[in-house]
Structure 1
Amino acid sequence: FAALLAREGYTGTEEIFEGKEGLMDVMGPEWDESKLFDGLGEKFKILECSMKAFPTEALTHTHLSAVLKLVKENDIKPEDVEEVTIKTIARACDILFDPHKYKPTSRETADHSLPYCIAVAIVDRKVTVQSFSEEKLKDQRVWNVINKIKGVASEEFEKLFPAKQPSEVIIKTVDGEEYSQYLEYPKGDPREPMTDDELMDKFNALSADMLSEVKQKEIKEAIYNFEKFGNVKDFMKILRVDKGV
């Protein structure tokens, strides 16, 4: 954007990078300016952005990815669960397993409660915005599982974070079986990207209250053919809601 402004004659501070209190000065003496131009025009960092697969606190995502993988691949039902152990970094263990996180009373507390999120994942085999509705917060199946979930801090995982976001989930069942899953990246990380179908499912869930299925389909097709639009106005017209207004 800054380059486009400069091309059109917009002016600004000349030494914003190398000048006194400029970016290099602020970021420290180890600044490597060659990184600014490495792969310029060939590598696009926007393609390395993460996409949130779940509408929850970021530190929950690898754990949710691991739990969903376990319950789906091994057909583990809520009533089968005897104990769930989540191995994580100390910070996540302290924040997400705080005692009050076992009794969330609102959407805002539930989506930052790892025990609740894990319980919902086991019960519904998915975590969407509907997972935090008033109705779901009263779902007894979730509450039957939530107190079976515990967190364990790992020094080994501390050494890997934040370059990696490790999680190990162990589910013990009432019949004595034990299932474990280790992941280093959550679904949605550029190293573990969401599929097109998963992105569409997320869009549908987030827009269900405001868009009809017909409108959802129209918008998705427009997004995937964005380069064919002659101007942004035509695209923006398609984004008008047709429900809940």
Structure 2
Amino acid sequence: MSEAAYHEELARMAVGVRLADMGASTRSALLDTVIDTVGCAIAAAAEPFADAALRATGAAYGGGTCSVLGRSERVSPSAAAMINATLGHGYDFDDVHLPSLSHFSTIVIPAALAACEMERASGATFLEAVIAGDEVGGRIGWAACSTEWGGTSIRNRSFFPTAILGTLAAAVAVAKVFGLSVGQTAQAIAIAGSYAAGLASVSRGDNSTKRTQAGWAAQSGLNAALLAREGFTGPRSVLETPQGFFEAFTGNRFRPEALRRNSDDTWICEEMSFKHYPLEYIIHPLVELTGRARDTVLPLLSDVTRIEASATARFVTLFEPVDTKTAPADAFQALMSAPYCIARALTKAADGNLWLSDFREHYVCDDATRALARKVAFVPDASFDARFPLHIDGGLKVLCGETVVWEGRIDDVYGSLDRPMSEAHFLGKFRSNCAALPAAQVDAMLDTLRHVDEAPDAGWIGLMRAGPA
């Protein structure tokens, strides 16, 4: 980086983002993140936790004019950012930037939507905001990522990267919608650095805070940009200064050169991985392997004595504590439990895939499922650790007594850059997530999202609601 402070350089890059400069592949990747995020939020819109989030934010902020995805209410900008991001991350079904271990889309997009409705900004402005927010969050995420540090130094410091990086990313996106100058955008980043928060312990799956950390980050980023617009300022050299961002969140384990975007680099929005199942991503390869094992294992199920599941050792919390993971208290705890997901995928009727319905109307946690989940043992694999987080791998071995009756390994999770999701699966996921809405509306939504760059103002966002736009 140059002599300018890191956040100032990032702000200059963000202000310079122009949709007109993006190639077709970048635009397509960007629109996919928007489509997927909107669908994930709408899928959660009718859930009890959505009602609870609406009540909580409504009590704090009152009514307003901003949209809640998949619902009829209109709320304040801060509440909209909070609720929509919470919905987007509600089932852990949203896309992820693996190098950062961060769910940027579910934070950046709701923050940008709220800002666009505030400013009546165009669809092109919205997309530029998402690109800019993703890029700043992802550049910082890349800087904290190294195999030397075992993945990401932010997570290693016990912070949840989604919330930490997402707050800064959201601030940049909103600053972009507001048309803030380089100096003002830098101040939005600096202010957001003080608002960034989130403990990695939420990923244990024994709590509902993980959902709301995305919402808090979106709301905080929005507020940081609002303050910057009004002339508030943050610390100088906020990222690199002593007692600043990198010291606090990475222990000064970061690579400054990764903060700069080179002209031939792909954009962060092109590096997103998409989820085929509504589960913690580390569990995906294990569920896929379980599906492959079913034909062999089901006839022998009563004789199975042990199921060895392998993943990176950093996510042992998906297997422990055993009592919580083998008998999850609710559906959300279940989708964060590797033993439960393996047992359910092995025994459910028809196939071994786990869909949203398996954690809603068809959720099962009976004695047989719990008993089989108790046979799942976590066996770390050092080769998976060496490839993490750029690759999410998994291994499965099923034993009857001392005999291995089935064994398999997956070297890249489905939906990642190395194993991209098919267009059929991607569109099927969106339509399934939006199934509560009329089919004609879903078709119109999809067409609108594919052409959002043509929208003259923010009126298109109302189409993503339930009821009249």
State TM-score, norm by structure 1.
0.74
Distance 1:112 1:8, change over 3 A: closer
Distance 1:230 1:147, change over 3 A: same
1:55·1:111 contact (CA, 8 Å) conserved in 2? Answer: yes
Out of 224-233 and 20-29, give the one that drifted further: 20-29
CA distance in 2, matches of 1:213, 1:167: 37
Report the equivalent of 2:420: 193
Cα deviation code 1:115-150 (max 9, x no counterpart): 111122232422122112364225676456434432
Report the equivalent of 2:15: 3
CA distance in 1, matches of 2:276, 2:266: 24
CA RMSD of aligned residues (A): 3.6
Report the equivalent of 2:194: none
Q: Which amino acid aligns with 1:61?
A: H
Q: Name the SS for the 1:211 alignment partner.
A: coil
Report the equivalent of 1:220: 446
CA distance in 2, matches of 1:29, 1:126: 39
Report the equivalent of 1:121: 345
Distance 1:43 1:87, change over 3 A: closer
Report the equivalent of 1:103: 327
Q: Name the SS for the 2:363 alignment partner.
A: helix
For structure 1, the residue ranges without an aligned partner over 5 or more in a row are none
Q: Which amino acid aligns with 1:60?
A: I
CA distance in 2, matches of 1:185, 1:75: 23
- Deviating above 6 A after TM superposition, structure 1's stretches of 4 or more consecutive aligned residues are none
CA distance in 2, matches of 1:140, 1:34: 50
Cα deviation code 1:6-36 (max 9, x no counterpart): 895634358x7xx964434454597444751
Q: CA deviation at 1:197?
A: 1.7
Q: Name the SS for the 1:153 alignment partner.
A: coil
Q: Name the SS for the 1:186 alignment partner.
A: coil
Percent of counterpart pairs with the same letter?
17
For structure 2, the residue ranges without an aligned partner over 5 or more in a row are 1-10, 17-174, 191-234, 247-251
CA distance in 2, matches of 1:34, 1:147: 43
CA distance in 2, matches of 1:93, 1:148: 16
Report the equivalent of 1:239: 464
Q: Which amino acid aligns with 2:466?
A: V
1:63·1:186 contact (CA, 8 Å) conserved in 2? Answer: no
Cα deviation code 1:165-204 (max 9, x no counterpart): 2211124579x77333222322222222222222223223
Out of 96-105 and 85-94, give the one that drifted further: 85-94
Q: Where is the helix percentage greater, Structure 1 or Structure 2?
A: 2
State TM-score, norm by structure 2.
0.42
CA distance in 2, matches of 1:185, 1:97: 24
CA distance in 1, matches of 2:452, 2:296: 41
Distance 1:216 1:180, change over 3 A: farther
